[in-house]
Structure 1
Amino acid sequence: MKVFVTGGTGFIGAHLVQLLLQQGYAVKALVRPSSNLDNLRGLEVEIVKGDLNDLEWQHMKDCQYLFHVAAHYSLWQSDRQLLYQNNVLGTRNVLAAARKAGIERTVYTSSVAAIGAGAFGQIVDETHQSPLEKLVGDYKKSKFLAEREAMQAVATGQDVVVVNPSSPIGSLDIKPTPTGDIILRFLRRQMPFYLDTGLNFIAVQDVAWGHLLALQKGKSGDRYILGHQNLTLKQLLDQLAQITGLTAPQRTVPAWLPLGVAWVDEKILAPLGKPPSVPLDGVRMAKQPMYYDASKAVRELGLPQSSLNVALKEAVDWFVSEGYVNPYGELKIKN
C-alpha cells in the first residue's frame, strides 16, 4: 500500500516514514523546497516538492492513505499569521485534496495543545476540551481550529482519525522541538533554574507507532492522546542528570521573572530589531502543568509505552553526535 505523508522531514514525521518503510508501505512525502532533508537521507521515499497551501490532489491520486503530520510550530506572537495560514487553512486544503484524490483514510496529527489543560495538576483525557478562548497562545488555538477542520471533514463523509501527541523524546529532533530544547539547554548548562511545572512525555518511536496503529485500528472521528508518563520538569531534569553525569538545577524560579523577560523581549526589544530569546506564550504555557491520560490509545490501539529513560539517552546521544552540543569532559553518558 502507498501512503502520502506531509511533514516527513520533521521529528515525528521522519520516525513515521522510517516505520512505514519498515512495515512494507511505499511512501510519498510532501516537502517544502526549503526543507532540510537530512532526516530522509538514504530512505526510499518519493519526494513531492510543494506547500500545504498549494498541494494539488493529483499528487495523492496513487496513494491509499494520508498522514497529515506537517504543521507550523512557533510560540512567537509575531508568527500568528503563519500559524493560522499553515495549520488551519493548510489542513483544510490538504483534506480537500485527499477527498478529491479518493484517499481511503487520513490520520491527522493534532496535539494535546488542542485539548488544553485541566485545573492545576489535573490529568485529562480525550473527553476534556478547554474553550478556545482559554487556550494559551496562537499555536494552541491554531491546532484547535485545525482539528475542527478534521472533524468537519468527517462530518462530510471523510474517514479521518485524529491523534494528539504529547511531548515526544528521541533522536532526529532536527529543529529542535520544545522538549528537545529543554534537553539541549540542560546539556549546554544553560538552565541554572527551572520552573515548577510538568508535562506528559513519550518516546518518539511510540508516537510513530501510534500513527500507524491509528490507521489500522482507530475509529473515524475519534481522537487519541499519544502519551505515556506525566513528569514534573524537575523529575525530567533529574533523569537527564543520571544519564549524563551533569548536575541538575536545584532551584526553582518564580514565573513572574521569565514572564517579565519574555514581555520585554517580544514587546520592546523585538520591534527594535533584536531577536527575542524567550517566547511570552511559552512562559505562559509553562505556568501550568499539562498532564494527560493516554489509556484510550493504549487500550484501543495498543500504543506502546517504551522507557522514557532510553528515549532520553537516545536524544542526548543524537544531539551530541550531530554537533548540537559539545561533548564536555564532564558529560559521561552511562551505557
Structure 2
Amino acid sequence: MVLVTGGTGFLGSTLIKILVDQGTAVRAIKREHAVIPDALVSSSLVQWVDADITDYFALSAIFTDVTQVYHCAAKISYQPADHAAMLHVNIEGTKHMVNLCLEHAARLVHVSSIASLGVSKNGELITEDSKWDDGADNSKYAVSKYESEMEVWRAIMEGLDAVIVNPSVIMGVGSGSKGSGVIFNMVQKGLQIYPPGTVGIVDVEDVAQLMVMLMNKPEISGERYILNSENMSNKELLDRISKLLGKPSPTIEAKPFMLGIAWRAAKLVSLIKRERPSLTREAALAAASKLAYSNKKIVDATGYLFKPVDRTLEETSRLF
C-alpha cells in the first residue's frame, strides 16, 4: 500500500492523480475539513483517511500494510501568529512519519524545501551540499523545514530507506488562488511594484513525476535532490505572467528600504484593525532574496527533462 500525506494539497493531489493513472492504490491522509479535489473524488483507487500528522497513535493505525510513503504534508506561513503551530506540524509530524516508516520498514520520499538549504555565499549556485547557517536571518518556515529534514537524516542513520526532495517554488495547473496562484491574482488585479529578488521555479507535475521516479529507484537511498527548472528574477517572472494575462508589467522596483517601510506599516495597520498583516518582515526578506539553485544532481541521476517555465506559466495563465 502507498501512503500519501497532504493528499488534498497542490502537490499531494497532483501526485495522487499520477499514481492513480498508473493503477496504483493509494491511502491518502487529509485534514478533517479538507476538500477532496474533483479529479479524485470518484476514484476507487484512493482511500481517504482523516488524521492529524502530529497524532502518533492515529498515524500508527493508518500504517497497516504500508510499504511506500510520500510525505507531502506541511504548513507554510510567514505570519508570526502561525510560527508555533508551523514548527509543531512540520517537525513533530515528520518525526512521527519517519519513526513509523522505520517501524514498518516502509520506503519514504520526503518533501523538504529549498528553504532548508540556507543561503548562497558570494552569489554562488545553491546545491545539495550547501551548508545551513544558523546565524543567517532564516524565516521560521525555513527553520521548520530544516529541522524536519534533520529528523529524516536522523532516521536514515538509524536505517530508514529514504530520499529527500527540495523543490523550489512550485507552480502549475491546480494551484488555484492559493500558494503560487496568488502571483497570478496579483498581476490580474494590476500589480505595479515588483520585489528585487530572484526565484527558482519548478512545475508541480515535474515534482510529482520525479518523486514517483525516485521512489521506484531502490538503488537510490539516503540522498537529497534539488528540484528546480529555472532561476529568474522576480521582475522577469512578473513580466512573463503580465504578458500572458494581457496586463501591464510592473515598473516600480521595491527597494529594500521600501519593503522595510511596507512591512512595518502593514504591521501597524494590522494592530489597529486586529487582523493579520498583509506583509510580514519574513515575507519581505524572502521577496528580496537573490538565490539560485542547481538541478545538476537530479538531472545526472535520472536524465529528467524539466518542463520549461514558459510552458508552466502559459498552462497556468489559462485558468485566470
With the length of structure 2 as denominator, give the TM-score of the two structures.
0.93
SS of 1:124's equivalent?
Answer: coil
Query: Which of 60, 63, 69 is 1:60 aligned to?
Result: 63
With over 3 angstroms needed to count, the CA separation of the structure-2 counterparts of 1:239 and 1:175, relative to structure 1, is closer
CA contact (8 A) 1:8 1:14 kept: yes
Aligned to 1:77: 80
- Superposition pairs for residues 196-207 of structure 1, below 5 Å? 196-207=196-207
| Aligned-residue offset at 1:158 | 0.8
Q: What is the CA distance between 1:182 and its match in structure 2?
A: 1.7
Alignment pair present for 1:90 and 2:89? no
Change (3 A) 1:223 1:236: same
Task: Tell me the residue number matched to 1:224.
Answer: 225
Cα distance in 2, alignment partners of residues 135 and 6 from structure 1 = 30
Q: Secondary structure at the match of 1:199?
A: strand
Q: Which of 138, 142, 148 does residue 146 from structure 1 map onto? A: 148
For 2:49, what is the secondary structure of its paired residue? strand
Partner residue, 1:247: 248
Structure 1 residue runs of 5 or longer lacking an equivalent are 321-335
Q: C-alpha displacement at 1:66, in angstroms?
A: 0.1
Give the counterpart letter for 1:22 in structure 2. Answer: D
Looking at structure 1, the residues matched to 6 and 177 of structure 2 have their Cα atoms a distance apart, in angstroms, of 13
Does the Cα contact within 8 Å between 1:169 and 1:180 map onto a contact in 2? yes
Residue number in structure 1 paired with 2:5: 6
- SS of equivalent to 1:162: strand
Tell me the alpha carbon deviations over residues 39-81 of structure 1, each in whole angstroms, 9 at most, x when there is no partner.
6333331001111011322312222100001000001111111
Question: One-letter code of the match for 1:8?
Answer: G
Q: 4+ runs of 1 displaced by more than 4 Å?
A: none
Q: Structure 1 residue 211: deviation in Å?
A: 0.8
CA displacement at 1:180 relative to structure 2 = 2.2
CA distance in 1, matches of 2:301, 2:48: 33
In structure 2, the partner of 1:303 is 304
Structure 1 residues 130 and 99: CA distance shift in structure 2, 3 A: closer
| Runs of 5+ unmatched residues, structure 2 | none
CA gap of 1:175–1:68, structure 2 versus 1, over 3 A, is: farther
TM, length-normalised to structure 1: 0.89
Q: CA deviation at 1:268?
A: 6.7
Moved more, 262-271 or 216-225: 262-271
Q: CA RMSD in A?
A: 1.8
3-state SS, counterpart of residue 134 of structure 1: coil
Q: Mark the CA change 1:96 to 1:271 in structure 2 (over 3 Å): closer, same or farther.
A: farther
SS in 1 for 2:318: helix
- Kindly indicate whether the alpha-carbon contact (under 8 Å) linking 2:168 and 2:226 is maintained by their aligned counterparts in 1: yes
| 1:118 counterpart = 2:116 | no
2:152 paired with 1:130: no
How much does 1:174 deviate? 3.9
Letter in 2 for 1:9: T
CA spacing shift, 1:135–1:8, aligned 2, 3 Å = farther
